[in-house]
Amino acid sequence: MINIPADIKHEIENLVKDLNYHCYRYYVIDSPVISDEEYDKGYRQLKELEEKYNYVLPDSPTQRVGAPPLDKLDKVKHTEPMLSLDNAFSHDEVREFDGRVKRSLKSDEDVEYTVEPKYDGLAMELTYKKGILYKASTRGDGYVGEDVTVNIKTIKAVPLKIEDVDIPEEIDIRGEVYMDVREFEALNAEREKGGEPAFANPRNAAAGSIRQLDSSITAKRKLHLACYGIGAVRDIKFASQWEFIEWLKKARFPVPVLIKLVKGTDGVIKVIKEIEEKRKDFSFEADGAVIKVNDFALQKALGVKTREPRWATAYKFTAHQGITRINDIIASVGRTGTITPVAFLEPVRIGGVTVSRSTLHNWDEIERKDIRIGDTVIVERAGDVIPHVVAVIMEKRTGEEIQFAPPTECPVCGSAVEKDEGGVAFRCIGLNCTAQVQQRIGHYASRGAMDIEGLGEKNVELLYEKGLVKHFVDIYNLKKHELLELPRYAEKSSQNLIDAIEKSKHTTLARFLYSLGIVHVGEYAAKLLARDFKDLEDLYHVKPERIIEIKQMGEKIAGSVSHFFNDPGNLHTLKTLKSLGLNISNPDYETVSSEKLPFEGMTFVVTGSLPKPRKEVEELIESMGGHAAGSVSKSTNYLVLGEDPGSKLQKAKALGIKTLSYNELMNMVKGEGRLF
């Protein structure tokens, strides 16, 4: 920041101001006035200037991308407690709340209230000093929360600097971090694809995202904020809640999507009904309405009772639930092979929508809730979108209900099924499973596998829809004249694809094994197999004990490889591929390095929520020579801890097993840590 030309400083400051303004219009008021390309151009220009002159303002939009991973979240004491709200469950209880307010104020006059939706998210406090975001903390127990400043900065709707209003010396602004329902569904689909457990609901997803130790993960998730409250404040005064909300709007803070100022309970109840009616159109989950005495002087006079303010209450909407019967349960196969139990229900109206199906998530969930075919159950539409079974009404049991056992074979193709070690998911291992065919074709043709240039996701989808490729075996039967009849394929592109397919017939065993999409077999594991088995046929009917003999191969991979090469359908497919001219060489055979790997002879167990998918972390451990086990035992050397580690941590402590944070593990991988 020394000897920076004044015009450069001025240019950087103007770029920051302009980009923050356009960010506000896009993310807060949903009214952009420039294109994404124009914003990106300005952003790149700002970043180049910042890097060249080492001059970065605290409110620069470049500071929203995340920071290095933390070892833990520090504790933060709230200057003023973040209180919880008392609940009202009927209009009569709203009137009773109003009566208590009037009695406490010793007044018969109608009280002025603000009414807004109750966001179902994670309560948050943002502390600004001299207008700059200084700290962000979770509610915690109301008195002490966790420091999540670096994560909050990744939410583009959060102002890094207060502008265009009177700026206090210090102010605590309170709100709710939440995730839109559709974005929640997209996140869960992505997690399922990566073999990670799904979040139960948008609130859990928001809480898990904002409490990440690696803020780059938070930055990838689409979180939002609605600001509605005030804590400690210095050098500025607000007369009312309404005045404070107006100040927030001018200062570019996101506020509740609907908030109204009314007098008396009739006005309050009218707005509650309006919010409940509009609830189905909100992008987020709203489980009620918040009612606050508007006048801050009256709030102070009313005070608090233990942990709840006397000047506010939360009206809770009736849950969108219904009672119905489970007529049947089926096992549904997703495009990655994951098998999910789905309940077929006696149709029931819930929240204005007829519900006839419900996900049961997994077999652990079925067992925990003891769900059976024929049961009478309570079904809820969480977020007004996703139906799920809340509980079984045991009193309705007749004794004729049927338990639904986990699958022993794929319901679509009949192939063998395996359960993730230490997980809850069942997966089909069949190469010929039509439920997962497009994903398998795309993986088979990918760069790290058979490297068939021109067979990207869109072209795979097109060829599948036109019936030309229903299995990756069909790739080798494609004809040029068939391609020429399709959109996007001209003479040159058609010939290029035919040439790429022909070229792929000459491959290595390591690449081919990876292309098959065997569960738990990544590129490195495929190379290890190729080093130990000379020919593809040597793997046919292989036993898991034989795979375990290979250094760095654990029981999980051994079981998966053995299942795959003992499946008759898979072996038939492999023989068909070879008959179509596939020529597999194996330059990796018997070229194993004699150098000892860093984790050789060590057993690791990974638990909790980590910055990377657990599967990826375990593959990394095994690539360094270690064994990634699914459960803690006396032979375990290290327990790698993520967030919410659960019972494995207690068992490790009882056995005296050493624990590692994710960062400590990464340092060891880089050779910067110490194996102790």
Give pLDDT tens digits for 254-303.
999 999 999 999 999 999 999 998 987 888 988 899 999 999 999 999 99
118 is catalytic: yes
Phi, psi of 622 (to 5 degrees): -70, -30
Express each pLDDT in 137-151 by its tens digit. 999 878 888 999 999
CATH number for the domain spanning 356: value is 2.40.50.140
Examine the domain organization and report whether 130 and 178 are in the same domain: yes
The kind and range of the H/E element at 278 are helix 264-278
Domain end position, chosen among 283, 299, 316? 316
Residue-level pLDDT at 352? 62
Q: Is residue 80 part of a domain?
A: no
Examine the domain organization and report whether 470 and 531 are in the same domain: yes
595 has pLDDT over 70: no
Examine the domain organization and report whether 370 and 296 are in the same domain: no
Domain end position, chosen among 540, 555, 585? 585
Q: How confident is the model at residue 233 (pLDDT cuts 50, 70, 90)?
A: very high
Domain assignment of residue 345, given as a range: 321-403
Handedness of CA 21, 26, 28, 30 (dihedral sign): positive
Report the alpha-carbon distance of residue 644 to residue 197 in Å, rounded: 13
Express each pLDDT in 381-393 by its tens digit. 754 456 889 889 9
Residue-level pLDDT at 382? 57
pTM of the model: 0.53
Residue-level pLDDT at 386? 65
Q: If you average pLDDT over residues 571-587, what whole number do you get?
A: 94
Examine the domain organization and report whether 345 and 452 are in the same domain: no
CATH number for the domain spanning 555: value is 1.10.150.20
**Residues 415/421/422/423 CA torsion (nearest 10 deg):** -30
243 has pLDDT over 80: yes
Residue-level pLDDT at 196? 67
Q: Is residue 412 part of a domain?
A: no
Q: How confident is the model at residue 593 (pLDDT cuts 50, 70, 90)?
A: very low
Residue-level pLDDT at 617? 85
Q: If you average pLDDT over residues 322-347, what whole number do you get?
A: 89
414 has pLDDT over 80: yes
SS3 at position 5: coil
Q: Is residue 72 part of a domain?
A: no
Domain count within the chain: 5
Q: How confident is the model at residue 448 (pLDDT cuts 50, 70, 90)?
A: confident
Report the alpha-carbon distance of residue 626 to residue 182 in Å, rounded: 39
What percentage of the chain reaches a pLDDT higher than 90?
47
642 has pLDDT over 50: yes
Report the alpha-carbon distance of residue 343 to residue 324 in Å, rounded: 11
Degrees (nearest 5) of the Cα angle 178, 182, 183?
55
Average pLDDT for the chain: 87
Examine the domain organization and report whether 273 and 361 are in the same domain: no
Q: How confident is the model at residue 33 (pLDDT cuts 50, 70, 90)?
A: confident
Report the alpha-carbon distance of residue 367 to residue 424 in Å, rounded: 11
Instruction: Extract the tokens encoding 212.
Output: 């990440």
SS3 at position 457: helix
Examine the domain organization and report whether 282 and 209 are in the same domain: yes
Q: How confident is the model at residue 310 (pLDDT cuts 50, 70, 90)?
A: very high
Is the pLDDT higher at 429 or at 328?
328
Is the pLDDT higher at 670 or at 514?
514
Residue-level pLDDT at 279? 86
Is the distance from CB of 250 to CB of 306 less than 8 angstroms? no
Residue-level pLDDT at 676? 37
The highest-confidence range among 35-39, 81-85, 174-178, 413-417, by mean pLDDT, is 174-178
CATH number for the domain spanning 619: value is 3.40.50.10190
Instruction: Extract the tokens encoding 444.
Output: 């088979």
Residue-level pLDDT at 280? 79
Examine the domain organization and report whether 310 and 326 are in the same domain: no
190-204, 375-389, 405-419, 437-451: least confidently modelled range: 190-204
264-268, 354-358, 383-387, 447-451: least confidently modelled range: 383-387
Residue of 17, 41, 47, 118 with catalytic role: 118
Q: Is residue 58 part of a domain?
A: yes
Q: Is residue 615 part of a domain?
A: yes
CATH number for the domain spanning 185: value is 3.30.470.30
Q: What is the DSSP letter of 89?
A: -
Residue-level pLDDT at 675? 40
Residue-level pLDDT at 165? 92
Cα dist from 199 to 272, 357, 388, 632, whole Å: 29, 19, 13, 25
Examine the domain organization and report whether 217 and 325 are in the same domain: no
Rg (CA), the chain: 30
Examine the domain organization and report whether 385 and 239 are in the same domain: no
Residue-level pLDDT at 384? 45
Residue type, 485: E
Report the alpha-carbon distance of residue 230 to residue 282 in Å, rounded: 24
Q: If you average pLDDT over residues 454-463, what whole number do you get?
A: 88
Residue-level pLDDT at 1? 45
Domain end position, chosen among 550, 585, 620? 585
Residue-level pLDDT at 674? 41
Q: Is residue 92 part of a domain?
A: yes
Examine the domain organization and report whether 446 and 350 are in the same domain: no
Residue-level pLDDT at 67? 60
Q: Is residue 354 part of a domain?
A: yes
What percentage of the chain reaches a pLDDT higher than 70?
92
Examine the domain organization and report whether 376 and 511 are in the same domain: no
Q: Is residue 75 part of a domain?
A: no
CATH number for the domain spanning 12: value is 1.10.287.610
Examine the domain organization and report whether 99 and 225 are in the same domain: yes
